[in-house]
Amino acid sequence: MDDLSKEELEQLLGVFRDQSLQILEDMDQELLTLESGGVTDEAMARLRRAAHTIKGDSACIGLDGVTEVAHQLEDVFDAILNRQMQFGSGVVDLILDSLDAMRAAIGGEEVDDLTPEIAQHLTEGIRSAIVAEEVEAPLLTARSKSSVVTRTEDDCDIKQQDVLRRRDYVRVDAAKIDALLNLAGEMVIARSVINQIGPRLEEALPKSDLTDKFGSSSAQMGKLIAELQKSVLKMRMVTIDQVFRRFARPMRELAAESGKQVELSISGSETELDRALVDLLYEPILHLLRNAVDHGLETREERLALGKPEVGRISMRAYHEGNQVVVEIADDGRGINAEMLRQKAMKAGQISEADALQMPEEEALELLFLEGLSTAKEVTLVSGRGVGAAAVKSAMEHLRGSVAVKSQQGVGTTFVLRMPLTLAIIRALLFTANGKLLALPLLTISEIARAQTSEVTLLDGVENYRLRDRFISIVRPGVVLGFERRSLSSSGAGLRAGGQRFFIIIVSIGNRKYGVVADTLIGEQELVIKPLDSRWVQNEAMAGAAVLGDGQVVLIMDAETLLRRAIRYERAQGQGRVTNAG
């Protein structure tokens, strides 16, 4: 077998150099992030893969020194992943040194191997670190290169300089922060009890110095506790840059794959969000970017013919809105054909013809997220678009977030991902149903209606409530959670006989609404979510539980699951099948 020609080798070296430098840069970033935040398995696995890729590639090129060092790095990350080794400052320095050395060798004028001496020095250092299984130092200094402006004595000569900034970090176990957060949450609850006592105290006791003092100091305490909670939450926060920046390489490859020219613009990368969200957000965003490149953007020729700029634009934007983090992914491509979606959904039997005709444009776009629709076989505009849309939706639901889509044909498509700032605390509406204390995330609630049993109508065996111009299905938490035995229809009859008044909490998810029946409303409150042990509780309609200040346990319901459980498809008013149960 003859070897590769010189020309071929040159070409391969170029590819190798570009890819490796990018990977080394990513690894650098990843390591620095790990140093300031906590170590996650996902990040370690990414590092291991990165080292693995460099190892394999450099072996083919014949850079034995780089291969050997990359191999050692792969082993280190593997050892850390397998808990055979701690991720400590000593190792980090060794790793960073190795990355620097590889970068210098590969990124020079010509791609070069590490000298045997350096390679040996590095591999031995790393190997002994693995063997020594060293204990991490509690305080470490992170290396962080940054460009800062320094002022000289006479205060006029300003120059930029690359300096090694020393920042002090205390490495803290993430679990400790979570414990602190829990405590802060408990304090919030305890405060709410005091808040309730306040007014009653004022009623019971004559106004005096004492009651005034109680009032002011409890208000002060409230403020401090809120601050405390915020500070602890901040400890868990990282900037979304950590997610965004990971897309640079995949995007370049995606663009190359599809042969399209793409410009990715990123804004709001300083937006902070819960650390736990970082890894969970990567996949959904990647899905959307992939679809944008693959199916959203037209080919170069098509764009030119349409008079659009040759280079396709994709933008990622993050910002805070209320208690939510919002990420928008927009392209200026061909947009989604809602009509085709309707047709497809009809053919797939997901909606009836009548529904399809009635369905407004915005709802038709939501069809994109239907499971069955997205797996259509032929790669067409719409089906291709659908690849993974259902997966994105379920990933976002998993984060207690949502995904929505806006699109205009010929102009572009925007996906809007929303998720809570933190996964640890939610603002919830407390209410009782069948005497049980329950809560729903406030973010999902759009309004609350007072209803009478006579206003409940049976449509196709599903209880419906008329909210202004449309019927919405209603859900009885008792039935879903299994402590109310009565079937829907008989319970409807029971209610009718009683003629009671009750509340219907209107929950809206995406573009759909449904109602949840409640006996009494208690109020809104911040709840620290405690996960339910799946060994004991197997009801996916519950997102978790929380303990109130007085020790009462409140179950937090999962709004998405409720929707799926109880709704077929809501129908617009005035359709033939409506039968008034009254």
Cα distance between residue 533 and residue 71, in whole Å: 40
Residues paired with 441 in a beta bridge: 428
User: Which residues, including other chains, have CB under 8 Å from residue 440's CB and lie 6 or more apart?
Assistant: 428, 429, 431, 505, 507, 516, 556, 557, 559
CB nearer to another protein: give 186 or 283: 283
Smallest gap from Cβ 218 to another protein, in A, equals 52
Q: How far apart are CA 44 and CA 76, in angstroms?
A: 10
Dig out the tokens for 87 from the structure. 């991720």
> For another protein, which is the closer residue by CB, 174 or 376?
376
Give the DSSP H/E element, type plus range, for residue 125.
helix 116-132
Q: Which is nearer to another protein, 56 or 116 (CB)?
A: 56
Q: At closest approach, how far in Å is the CB of 102 from another protein? A: 15
Contact 364, 355 (CB under 8 A): no
- Tell me the DSSP string of 423-483: SSEEEEEEEEETTEEEEEEGGGEEEEEEEEGGGEEEETTEEEEEETTEEEEEE-HHHHHTS
Residue 388 Cβ, how far from another protein at the closest point, in Å? 8
Please provide the distance, in angstroms rounded to a whole number, between the alpha carbons at the two ends of the chain.
Answer: 86
| Residue whose CB is less far from another protein, 10 or 339 | 10
To the nearest whole angstrom, how small is the minimum distance from the Cβ of residue 22 to another protein? 10
Phi/psi of residue 449, each to 5°?
Answer: -120, 145
- Least distance in angstroms from the C-beta of 110 to another protein: 16
Nearer to another protein, 375 or 580 (CB): 375
- 212: phi then psi, degrees, rounded to nearest 5: -60, -50
Min separation Cβ 258 and another protein, Å: 9
Chain residues that interact with another protein, rule: CB under 8 A: 1-4, 8, 11-12, 15-16, 18-19, 46, 49, 52-53, 56-57, 59-62, 64, 67, 250, 253-254, 257, 283, 286, 290, 294, 377-379, 384, 387-388
Task: Select from 326, 309, 212, 348 the least CA-distant residue to 271.
Answer: 326
Judge contact between 305 and 324, C-beta under 8 A.
no
Minimal distance, residue 8 CB to another protein, in Å: 6
* Structure token pair of residue 573: 């008013």
DSSP 293: I
Find the shortest distance in angstroms from Cβ 18 to another protein. 8
Closest among 557, 468, 463, 456 to 498, alpha carbons compared: 456
State the nearest-atom distance from the C-beta of 17 to another protein, in Å. Answer: 9
Query: Among residues 83 and 377, whose Cβ is nearest to another protein?
Result: 377
- Distance CA(432)–CA(478), nearest Å, equals 10
CB of 405 to another protein, least distance (A): 20
CB-facing half-sphere around the CA of 151: CA atoms within 13 A: 4
Comparing CB distances to another protein, the nearer of 62 and 523 is 62
* Nearest to 476, CA basis, from 467, 494, 460, 468: 494
- Closest distance between another protein and the C-beta of residue 5, in Å? 9
Q: Which two tokens stand for residue 446?
A: 């759009």
Packing angle between helix 64-81 and helix 41-61, nearest 10 degrees?
Answer: 160
What's the min distance (Å) between Cβ of 540 and another protein? 24
CA-closest candidate to residue 529, choices 442, 437, 426:
426
Tokens of 91: 């190792």
| 443, 555 contact by CB (below 8 A) | no
What stretches of 529-579 adopt beta strand conformation (E)? 542-547, 553-557
Q: How far is the CB of 385 from another protein (least distance, A)?
A: 12
Phi and psi at residue 472, in whole multiples of 5°?
-125, 145
Give whichever of 7 and 353 is closer to another protein, judged by the CB atom.
7
**Smallest distance, Å, CB 271 to another protein?**
24
In the complex with another protein, the residue whose CB is nearer, 8 or 263, is 8
Joined tokens for residue 517:
């029946």
- Pick between residue 62 and residue 582 the one whose CB is nearest to another protein: 62
Residue 34's region, left for phi above 0, alpha for psi from -120 to 50, else beta, is: alpha
Task: Cite the beta strand spans of 131-261 per DSSP E.
Answer: 139-151, 158-170, 237-239
